[in-house]
Structure 1
Amino acid sequence: MKRWLACALVFLSAFVLLTLGVVAGVFLDRQVLARFVPLANMPVDAESEFRLMAETWNVIQENYVRSATTEPRQITYGALQGMVDALGDEGHSRFLTPDELRTHLNSVRGELEGIGVEVQVQDGRVVIVTPIDGSPAERAGLRPGDVIVAVDGEQVAGMAIEEVVARVTGPAGTTVRLTILGDDTGETREVTITRARIALESLTWQPIAGTDVALVRLASFSAGVSDELAEALTAIREQGLQGIVLDLRNNPGGLLNEAVGTASQFLAAGNVLLVRDASGETRPVPVEPGDAALDLPLAVLINQGTASAAEIVAGALQDAQRATVVGQTTFGTGTVLLQFPLSDGSAVLMATEEWLTPAGRVIWKRGLEPDVTVALPDDALPLVPGGEEPITPGELRSSRDEQLHTALELLTDLVAGADAPSPGREAAPGPGGDADADPDPRAPESRRAASADPLVDNPLAARETGPSPAVPVRVLVRNGTGNPDLAGLLAAELRWRGLEVLESSTGEGGREHSQLLVYRDRPVAVELLTRVLGLGPEDVVRLPDDGQDVDLEILLGSDYNTCR
């Protein structure tokens, strides 16, 4: 009996101790978890995940060989960065320490100290999005797409981007040595750069001598830049300039409201972008009252350094066919960041929404493709406005900025056409004349206010000048598309543009490619028609024949796209 009682007491004691151990273990575990997040705020379904974090924390503190020199806050920051990185929004959503947050806010305000470069993570590599205009990084020849391999001889592979940024930045006057992998060459090079205090000038502009065009450079979308743009556009009009090249190259983005305000200076109606939230619902962001330059011919320059808010502006103008976009495919940043402050002064920049162009195009990780693809020569840099005097032809030539040259060529024709009388509009009145002639009543109101086609805003009165009085260009349209309506539609458009269409013929279908037959040399009209029809040089066939009743003949094929 005594032996049975003794066994029972031992079993009971073991049971009590085991129970107390389990209870104490749960209690202690929850106390550890409480260090990470108050129990009242801990999501029930996340408790096991926080427990795992607590276990890892304890393993580090109790077993790491250099735990005595470990800074707990740095471990916490590393864990927070890892959480955000695990979302897969590489290089965009991110955790910022208090120091990094101050740098970020200063850049938005237009203040910066360092080498002047925007970086993001792509495929695990620290990639230069863009060097800032006039910065030490730009002077050192750093270009969009270059990869930072090492900082002061230490490889950055495996480092958080915030650590890389901290190593690159520093007080003005100090130097940093970067190992750079060239995006275009695939070769590495060493670059030593002296840091400086950088005054970010978000907007600069200059007239281009010998043209009626202004070059307007937007380096970032910092606070107030859309108001600065409206003032600049007013000054451009007052100087009698009639076209704009809007340079968004190497623009890393900025504030969404400034992007909306900027696009609204050129658009009369519609949307600037579409925003899709986490639930999949999409809402439009409409054009705001602005309209400082609704009728000025416009070309937009983009490249690999065009990102975020700059892509929003370029996409809106491209979808509305308000501008011709020239350059190279953009970076592909398509999420809207919100800042969530944390209790110690750090913050999480979180992508809470995805943005699409007004036509619903996805830009995230794809980028925005230009209408006209032009690469900048490897040893050339964009020509940046900034002087008080106009950009001279010599400066333009020596810059070797082929993207800007192409945009100017496109705008020259448009600006020239802006001064020519168009159907339904009288020629410019002389003294005492009626200056309020109405636009062509055949043009839809949206076209008269802000055309869906920049060529239509400034139709060329396609009359060729020479020793004799100007004569109209006569055109024949032959339809080989199989769609009987297309010839009539094209003929009506060409008549509105100032061409004399003597006949439009609906032929049998089956013609694959459109062609332009040139019987008499009419260079202005030929250039206009190649753009309207989307033809290449090989599609223009010259057949000199003064016996023809028409100057030009269009053979319309199935590749003709009415939604240009």
Structure 2
Amino acid sequence: MKHAILYKTMFAKDRPFFASLYTGTKVVNVMENEKKEVEPTQENHSGYIKMRKFSFVMLMFFLVFATAGITTFALAFGDEKAVNVGVPERTEFKKLYDTYDELKKDYYKDIDQDKLVNGAINGMIESLDDPYSDYMTKEEAEKFHESISSSFQGIGAEIQEKDGNIVVVSPIKGSPAEKAGIKPNDIILAVDGKSIHGMSATDAVMLIRGKKGTDVTLTVQKAGSDEPTEIKITRDDIPLNTVNAEMMDNGIAKVQITSFSENTYKELQDALADMEKQGMKGLVIDLRQNPGGLLDQAIKISNLFVPEGKLILQVEDRNGKREKIAAEGGKKIDVPVSVLIDGGSASASEIFAAAVSQSANIPLVGEKSFGKGTVQTASDFNDGSNIKFTTAKWLTPNGDWIHTKGIKPDVEAKLPDYANLPYLNPDKELKKEMVSSEVKAAEEMLKAIGLDPGKVDGYFDENTENAVKKFQENNKLSADGILKGESTMDLMEKVREKILQNDTQVKKAVEVLQKEKK
């Protein structure tokens, strides 16, 4: 799933795509996800935004395909008059038509006409060399629209194609992908043993997604590692409940936004109202691992924090013309705020982070964000297929283009080292006398949860065996000193719980917030 900022557009459906797409406005999305609209004229995002949709460009694009469609019909069925009825001849397509005719006439076996046309369109889009532009067949488009609805079935990770590789942008919080240890910048090399190198993100999504309860095995090259790892994941329902709130100590509320979906603004309003009832005195907005979502949602949410008249973002077309979107009046959050970002924060989450940082002086805490600074439009054809392509850049209030660069936090903070340990394959047995990088990772996990595996060196010695037995006894497992299956899964889950208990980035965000209060 790539993430993309999607405008409402003709024939379009609402939202990015998870496994997926993620970042758009209402066009009816990560690992792995919005309603029919009319043509892209000016739109008012619920009182927050008026934006031109580059109607001339879209009209020309539509005419190109209308012309191609009529001419192809004539070539296929021999009605020469059809070529000249109401549409001028497009000489730039002569080479394309000649190629079609030659193949249709002399290719050594029968040709699937739809496959030829789809291939031509796909080649046109691929020639843009833009990972955020894509052509989807009817089947792929159905998955795309499903992934941008309120829920879908899969593993819950957003991916993108980068330099021929399928790279994870971010797993969805609580998803099977996150629980299996999938992290930003992991490279997926194969799906169920089939190499996906050189494949588009859409094609990769088609392989990875599937029905709840079914398994998929990913061959993954973890970030910073040269050794591939096989990870079996059981697909599940991926609900897009995008806002999670909790009250911490001293009246500090933490609100996590996992993506910018159709209902995120309303979910956030409800969460903030609940936190205010509980006496909220400060607020941490957590955008970590947030791959983006709908542009209109990012604008509405930014408006809660950015003073009236201050810029939220700018959108620049290919001619350099900029549309400036400023905050309007309405309810504003008036308690001290800090915002958490990391390498999985992309697209719409970066729009929000840049807006509150540059226009509301709200501090950003954590790690540099992903760096996605383009805007996409998605449109359906009558046969159900779909194209998604980049139409503009988005810039921060100060006019910065963060594409591929990301946003640096005001205060850097990292998670503990054990938060970056690799996934352990539960189907693989780790036992005494073994030497491997997996054994070393297991030793580090045991040490992280307070057990003593001896020297952390990748050698499964007696001390390691005793630590595993102790772990198994503490968790009512068969104490055989061997890590496999349930023992492996439980060990990784305990480490995950430890990370949540010792979230150094949240602690730093609270510390920064308390300084702001003073």
TM-score tier, shorter chain, comes to: 0.5 to 0.7
Would you say the 8 A contact 1:118–1:131 is kept in 2?
yes
Tell me whether 1:152 sits opposite 2:192 in the alignment.
yes
**1:53 maps to what in 2?**
96
Whole-angstrom CA distance in 2 between matches of 1:181 and 1:397: 22
Whole-angstrom CA distance in 2 between matches of 1:29 and 1:228: 48
| Partner deviation per Cα, 1:304-356 (whole Å, 9 max, x = no partner) | 21111111000101112532111222222112222222121112122222110
Would you say the 8 A contact 2:189–2:195 is kept in 1?
yes
Tell me whether 1:125 sits opposite 2:165 in the alignment.
yes
Whole-angstrom CA distance in 2 between matches of 1:289 and 1:154: 53
**2:179 maps to what in 1?**
139
Whole-angstrom CA distance in 2 between matches of 1:53 and 1:116: 39
- Secondary structure at 2:419's aligned position in 1? coil
Choose from 348, 371, 379 the match for 1:340: 379
Whole-angstrom CA distance in 2 between matches of 1:72 and 1:377: 56
Using the TM superposition, give the Cα deviation of residue 99 of structure 1 relative to its aligned residue in structure 2, in angstroms.
2.9
Whole-angstrom CA distance in 1 between matches of 2:84 and 2:133: 27
* Residue pairs, 1:527-542, within 5 angstroms: none
Letter in 2 for 1:260: I
Choose from 102, 114, 117 the match for 1:76: 117
Would you say the 8 A contact 1:244–1:296 is kept in 2?
yes
Tell me whether 1:402 sits opposite 2:443 in the alignment.
no
Would you say the 8 A contact 1:85–1:94 is kept in 2?
yes
Letter in 1 for 2:100: W
* Residue pairs, 1:56-455, within 5 angstroms: 56-58=99-101, 60-61=103-104, 67-68=109-110, 71-90=112-131, 92-208=132-248, 210-269=249-308, 270-293=310-333, 295-377=334-416, 379-380=418-419, 399-411=501-513, 413-414=514-515, 455=516
- Secondary structure at 1:375's aligned position in 2? coil
Whole-angstrom CA distance in 2 between matches of 1:38 and 1:191: 54
Whole-angstrom CA distance in 2 between matches of 1:142 and 1:283: 37
Using the TM superposition, give the Cα deviation of residue 143 of structure 1 relative to its aligned residue in structure 2, in angstroms.
0.3
Q: Which deviates further from its counterpart, 79-88 or 132-141?
A: 79-88
Q: Which deviates further from its counterpart, 100-109 or 252-261?
A: 100-109
| Partner deviation per Cα, 1:116-160 (whole Å, 9 max, x = no partner) | 111111122111111111111111100011111111111112222
Whole-angstrom CA distance in 1 between matches of 2:112 and 2:72: 22
Would you say the 8 A contact 2:215–2:234 is kept in 1?
yes
Whole-angstrom CA distance in 1 between matches of 2:397 and 2:508: 26
Letter in 1 for 2:328: E
With the length of structure 2 as denominator, give the TM-score of the two structures: 0.66
Whole-angstrom CA distance in 2 between matches of 1:119 and 1:365: 15
* Residue pairs, 1:497-536, within 5 angstroms: none
Using the TM superposition, give the Cα deviation of residue 363 of structure 1 relative to its aligned residue in structure 2, in angstroms.
1.6
Whole-angstrom CA distance in 2 between matches of 1:41 and 1:145: 50
Whole-angstrom CA distance in 2 between matches of 1:38 and 1:303: 54
Which structure has the larger Rg?
1
Whole-angstrom CA distance in 1 between matches of 2:388 and 2:107: 31
Distance 1:176 1:237, change over 3 A: same
Query: How many pairs does the alignment contain?
Result: 371
Would you say the 8 A contact 1:33–1:54 is kept in 2?
no
Using the TM superposition, give the Cα deviation of residue 29 of structure 1 relative to its aligned residue in structure 2, in angstroms.
9.9
Letter in 2 for 1:360: G
Whole-angstrom CA distance in 2 between matches of 1:41 and 1:250: 51
Using the TM superposition, give the Cα deviation of residue 41 of structure 1 relative to its aligned residue in structure 2, in angstroms.
7.8
Would you say the 8 A contact 2:143–2:206 is kept in 1?
no
Using the TM superposition, give the Cα deviation of residue 54 of structure 1 relative to its aligned residue in structure 2, in angstroms.
2.9
CA root-mean-square deviation: 2.9
Would you say the 8 A contact 2:416–2:499 is kept in 1?
no
Would you say the 8 A contact 1:145–1:183 is kept in 2?
yes
**2:31 maps to what in 1?**
none
Letter in 1 for 2:212: A
Runs of 4 or more consecutive aligned structure 1 residues displaced over 6 Å after TM superposition: 394-397
| Partner deviation per Cα, 1:25-62 (whole Å, 9 max, x = no partner) | xxx99953899x96668775x523x2322344345556
- Secondary structure at 2:314's aligned position in 1? strand
Stretches of structure 1 that go unaligned for 5 or more consecutive residues are 1-27, 382-393, 415-454, 461-564
**1:525 maps to what in 2?**
none
Query: What is the percent sequence identity of the aligned residues?
Result: 35
**2:33 maps to what in 1?**
none
Task: Compare relative contact order (CA 8 Å, sep 6+) and give the higher one, 1 or 2.
Answer: 2
Letter in 2 for 1:280: G
Letter in 2 for 1:175: D
| Partner deviation per Cα, 1:165-200 (whole Å, 9 max, x = no partner) | 111111111111111111132331111111112111
Whole-angstrom CA distance in 1 between matches of 2:502 and 2:86: 60
Whole-angstrom CA distance in 1 between matches of 2:103 and 2:382: 24
Distance 1:359 1:165, change over 3 A: same
Choose from 32, 50, 60 the match for 2:75: 32
Would you say the 8 A contact 2:294–2:348 is kept in 1?
yes
Q: Which deviates further from its counterpart, 212-221 or 181-190?
A: 181-190
Whole-angstrom CA distance in 2 between matches of 1:186 and 1:211: 45
Letter in 2 for 1:98: K
| Partner deviation per Cα, 1:374-416 (whole Å, 9 max, x = no partner) | 23345428xxxxxxxxxxxx978753322222112212x23xx
- Secondary structure at 2:148's aligned position in 1? helix
